[in-house]
Amino acid sequence: MPSKFVDRRVLVTGGAGFIGSHLCERLLEQGAEVLCLDNLFTGRKANIAHLLGNPAFEFLRHDVTIPINAEVDEVFNLACPASPVHYQFDPVQTTKTSVMGAINVLGLAKRLRIPVLQASTSEVYGDPQVHPQTEAYWGNVNPIGPRSCYDEGKRCAETLFFDYHRQHSLAIKVVRIFNTYGPRMHPNDGRVVSNFVVQALRNQPITIFGDGSQTRSFCYVDDLVEGLLGMMRTPAEITGPINLGNPSEFTVAQLANLVIEITNSKSTIDFRPLPQDDPRQRKPDISLAKHHLGWGPTINLRQGLKRTVSYFERLLSLGRSENGIAERDIPAKYPARLVS
Which helix (H) or strand (E) is 227 found in, with range?
helix 221-233
27 near 72, Cβ under 8 Å? no
Helices (H) and strands (E) in the chain, counts: 10, 13
Query: What CA–CA distance (Å, rounded) separates 52 from 338?
Result: 33
- Residue 266: CB atoms within 10 A of its CB come to 10
339: left (phi over 0), alpha (psi -120 to 50) or beta: beta
DSSP E strand stretches across the chain: 9-13, 33-38, 57-61, 74-77, 116-121, 172-177, 180-181, 206-209, 215-217, 219-220, 242-244, 249-251, 269-272
282 near 178, Cβ under 8 Å? yes
Which helix (H) or strand (E) is 64 found in, with range?
none
Query: What CA–CA distance (Å, rounded) separates 278 from 41?
Result: 24
In this structure, the strands spanning 206-209 and 269-272 are parallel
Query: What CA–CA distance (Å, rounded) separates 280 from 255?
Result: 15
Which helix (H) or strand (E) is 313 found in, with range?
helix 301-317
**Catalytic site residue from 150, 164, 181, 311:** 150
List, in sequence order, every residue forming a beta bridge with 173; answer none if it has no partner. 117
CA-nearest of 99, 119, 93 to 174 is: 119
Degrees, nearest 5: CA angle 14-19-24: 70
334 is catalytic: no
What positions carry a catalytic annotation? Answer: 150
